[in-house]
Amino acid sequence: MPSERDKDLRDDSVLDSLLASTACSMRDALRTIDRNACGIAFIVDSDRLLHGVVTDGDIRRAILNGLSPETPVTEFMTRSPISVCEEVPTEKIIGLMSEGIKYVPVVDEHKRVVDYAAFTQAVHLPVASPAFSGNELRYVTECVLTNWISSRGRFVTEFERTFAKFCGVKHGITASNGTVALHLALVLAGVGPGDEVIVPTLTFVATANAVRYTGATPIFADSNPVTWTLDPAEVERRITKRTKAVIPVHLYGHPCDMDPIMDLARRHRLVVIEDAAEAHGAMYRGKRVGSIGHVGCFSFFGNKIITTGEGGMLTTNDDGLAERARVLRDHGMSQTERYWHETVGFNYRLTNLQAAVGVAQMERIETLLAQRAAVGRCYKELLKDDQRVELPREVPWARPVTWLYTVLLRDGINRDQIIKRMESVGVDSRPCFHPVHSLPPYAVQARFPVAEALSRRGLSLPTWAPMRQDQIERICRTLLDCLPAR
């Protein structure tokens, strides 16, 4: 009778492709592995009795040891492989698996192979997963069938139009990724050698790297302990005569407190570039992020709220800036005279193929955001009563989005050990970023106590749209089981 585990883990069409005979050679086993694309063959006799397993790694090592492709598989297979019997509960099987062991034979009481367990999503919960259940394939196919595969085509303009509308700005300008969108924004702001740009130290390294690309110096500032984003008071302390711009980062989907930053920018004539790579759709006092500063920058990397594989976007209400952005991302070429290059520009264009995915994602962005919000609520409900875990806090002026649901572990808990323990039972998680000032290319000696504590304690849990309730329950159960006793 099919059990719950059977339903989740088994694919009958795959089982046969995993089996190879005890009579086969290395060449035959390699053919089996090549066909099943699982990296492993279960070696069985004519009664399906399990004698061993061979992985692609075993074959590689056998060849390096000088064995010929005609060597009988029984000479180099693993003779006592991990296997489980039919009654073993799913949780126990999960415990046996890892990135290294992805397929385990399931045997009956006579050691006959009757099934297999796979390290698929039923077992392995990744930190992020894209949601391609809309028109993505259809639109990409249209690009391929019509030959509009490069950086011109209807999807590029459509993606820019729909994304700008979504953010409530006049212009969206696509770019190859979020990092070059930031670089372009800084170049547009006139940032160059000798200038300073204030950035939070707690961010993904790309924020600071983009500053470095221009020859300017990133000046690191600490975070607010409630929102985990750039602290406006910290920005004010760091403004000098050289300060040209500031990059508030809407980290983990939470908006920065933009009003005081915009106020400082007006008083000191600074350009504000919002790094909204992780916060598509988040609202600050009724406005979408990316519409508040002079320019907004987004990423569409595979783990983002919407994705185009790699991709980025600048958003702005400034007509002149938008026009210059289009010129600069396209080799500095005049928009009216072909091959007339007014300036040294870049090739930072997004392809129509990528934009096709983006247009399909935009058709469902509100649904994706709602599904992610539901994931956030579910995590909150399941974790709220445990003192070992501190949940993201809420402020009245922000409506964050759930990018990666990120919690703080109680100080003193070895976060990296928890990540390893969770991984060993199939649940991926992610440490918070290292503060950029502590990384080798920057190596700033000053202390940033809030960012350092958040970085040490922060743990991002699997988040995608839509996630099933039982998946979130399993993640929370795993996390709480892995934490030291209260």
Binding site for ligand PLP (CB under 6 A): 177-179, 203-204, 206-207, 249, 275, 277-278, 299, 301, 312
Half-sphere exposure of 310 (CA within 13 A, CB side): 10
Q: What type of residue is 155?
A: F
Cα(415)–Cα(389) distance, rounded to whole angstroms?
11
Residue whose Cβ sits closest to ligand PLP: 178
Q: What type of residue is 458?
A: G
The two beta strands, 405-409 and 287-288, are: unpaired
Calculated CA dihedral for residues 466, 468, 469, 474, nearest 10 degrees? -120
Residue placing its CB nearer to ligand PLP in the complex, 172 or 312: 312
Asked whether 390 and 483 are in contact (CB, 8 A), the reply is no
CA 202, 204, 207, 209 dihedral sign is positive
Asked whether 105 and 116 are in contact (CB, 8 A), the reply is yes
Q: Edge-to-edge, what's the strand order for the sheet holding 389-390?
A: 389-390, 405-409, 458-461, 430-431
Least Å distance, CB 30 to ligand PLP, is: 37
Cα(66)–Cα(108) distance, rounded to whole angstroms?
36
Residue placing its CB nearer to ligand PLP in the complex, 30 or 189: 189
Cα(303)–Cα(169) distance, rounded to whole angstroms?
24
Least Å distance, CB 300 to ligand PLP, is: 7
Residue placing its CB nearer to ligand PLP in the complex, 24 or 272: 272
Residue placing its CB nearer to ligand PLP in the complex, 71 or 207: 207
Least Å distance, CB 225 to ligand PLP, is: 19
Residue placing its CB nearer to ligand PLP in the complex, 10 or 349: 349
Residue placing its CB nearer to ligand PLP in the complex, 299 or 351: 299
Least Å distance, CB 126 to ligand PLP, is: 16
Residue placing its CB nearer to ligand PLP in the complex, 182 or 265: 182
Least Å distance, CB 180 to ligand PLP, is: 7
For 124, phi then psi, to 5°, come to -100, 120
Residue placing its CB nearer to ligand PLP in the complex, 227 or 478: 227
Cα(16)–Cα(44) distance, rounded to whole angstroms?
11
Residue placing its CB nearer to ligand PLP in the complex, 207 or 352: 207
Burial class (CB in 10 A: 0-12, 13-18, 19+), 422: buried
Cα(35)–Cα(442) distance, rounded to whole angstroms?
48
Residue placing its CB nearer to ligand PLP in the complex, 107 or 249: 249
For 377-423, give the DSSP string.
HHHHHHHTT-TTEEPPP--TTEE---SSEEEEEPTTS-HHHHHHHHH
Least Å distance, CB 279 to ligand PLP, is: 9
Q: 454: closest CA among 169, 114, 200, 282?
A: 200
Least Å distance, CB 129 to ligand PLP, is: 16
Least Å distance, CB 284 to ligand PLP, is: 16
Residue placing its CB nearer to ligand PLP in the complex, 55 or 203: 203
Strand-pair partners of 50: 44
Asked whether 186 and 162 are in contact (CB, 8 A), the reply is no
Least Å distance, CB 335 to ligand PLP, is: 25
Question: Which tokens sit at 34?
Answer: 């090549």
Cα(424)–Cα(427) distance, rounded to whole angstroms?
7
Cα(166)–Cα(73) distance, rounded to whole angstroms?
59
Least Å distance, CB 210 to ligand PLP, is: 8
Least Å distance, CB 297 to ligand PLP, is: 7
